[in-house]
Amino acid sequence: MDMNLLQTRLEDIVGFKIELKTMSIQEWQIKIQDNKELSDSSFCIEDRIYFAFQITSSDVQYFEVGITQLSNMERKLIELLIMTSLSVSEVKQSKAEGDSRDVELGKWLQEQWELGNQGQEIPDSFGLRNTLSETMVPFLLSYENRIQPEITYSSLNKLMKSYFDGDVVLIPLLNKEWLILANENSLDGLREESEAGAQAEHDMLSALCQGLYELISNEWVGVCHLSVTEPIIPISSLLDATSVMKATIQLGRLFHVTEHIHLPWEVHLERLIYSIPDEERRQFLEQTITQSNTTSFTDQETLTTLETFFQLDCNVSETAKRLYIHRNTLLYRMDKLKQETGLDVRSFKDAVLVKLTLLLYKVTKRK
């Protein structure tokens, strides 16, 4: 969207003149550091709200408005308008910078998702059949912070070609998402060091994803999420594989808010929980939580203890080490939970029930 047109539309929303300002990227980084009222495209300091419009490596263009001049609804409308404008700009920028076939393929994938299509093969008209008929490893990158410098097609493509030794296809999607298709030979070095089997393959893909995440987060300041699936033949499976990765990132951001790498084979239970109707979730929680002290599943210390305990396969000694507490302290916390809820997480049956309750509570309390 044209900057002047955006400014006019914003002024129509608020009913007064808004000035487009500029500051250096260094000043901008200082302002957003440790800010508690930070959203995707605005933040608040004292009595002023700052809306980022365009960020480069040297400066930032932004709109600044008094906090008392806007209602919460007006602020959300302005954020939505800016985000929509940026999404349109992303597509235009990708067309200018990248391979037009990759851009058009991204648009086709987006259209198929909106239509609810599955299992569709990529049409021959894109001219990518030879490339996408080889086995490749698909990654999905989601970059969500819009008040930081932008990830561009050219810079990300250059970084990916360096990481994967040149064998990569980069497909830009809307909403700051990128599909990265790496040649299967990216796994060769890791395969030589591992045993065969599905678990070994998953471990290798997880290691690749971890390395890719560290590379991207070191290059760009901001929050990004990554997912990966098993190697596929993109010409026939890219649409479905990307749908799985998109759903996996959504589940990961909902159930595992502190994590940034989300793997499909690690969210089977979360996917099942998310598919349960809202009313059934609430009924289950009422039957479970109301029989106990309701703080049992809301106390942060208890939650951290339980999450760590489950992450470490219910190993008491390893959990105590990870939490930097004495083993007896951990046992005391478990006994306290048992007294309050009647559930002993050292028992398999009760541990399953507690795990389900935690997951249900996470998705229900966000509704």
Percentage of the chain beyond pLDDT 90 is 19
| Tens-digit pLDDT profile for residues 122-172 | 887 777 777 888 889 999 999 876 555 567 888 888 888 888 877 788 999
Go through the domains of the chain in sequence order and give each one's CATH number.
Answer: 3-89 (no CATH), 99-270 (3.30.70), 276-365 (1.10.10.2840)
Specify whether the CB–CB gap between 37 and 98 falls below 8 A: no
Q: Does pLDDT of 366 surpass 80?
A: no
Q: What is the mean pLDDT of the chain?
A: 79
Please, what is the end-to-end C-alpha distance for the chain in angstroms? 33
Q: How far apart are CA 120 and CA 360, in angstroms?
A: 34
What pLDDT is recorded for position 124? 78
Residue 97 pLDDT grade (very low, low, confident, very high; cuts 50, 70, 90): very low
Per DSSP, the residues of 336-361 read: HHHHHHS--TTSHHHHHHHHHHHHHH
Q: How far apart are CA 281 and CA 268, in angstroms?
A: 17
**Which H/E stretch holds residue 305?**
helix 300-311
Three-class secondary structure of residue 287 per DSSP: helix
What pLDDT is recorded for position 245? 95
What pLDDT is recorded for position 72? 76
Percentage of the chain beyond pLDDT 70 is 81
| Tens-digit pLDDT profile for residues 4-49 | 677 777 777 777 777 778 888 777 767 766 554 555 567 777 777 8
pTM: 0.67
**Which H/E stretch holds residue 52?**
strand 48-55
What pLDDT is recorded for position 88? 46
Q: How far apart are CA 276 and CA 284, in angstroms?
A: 11
State mean pLDDT over 332-354: 88
Q: Does pLDDT of 323 surpass 70?
A: yes
What is the sign, positive or negative, of the torsion defined by CA atoms of 171, 175, 176, 182?
negative
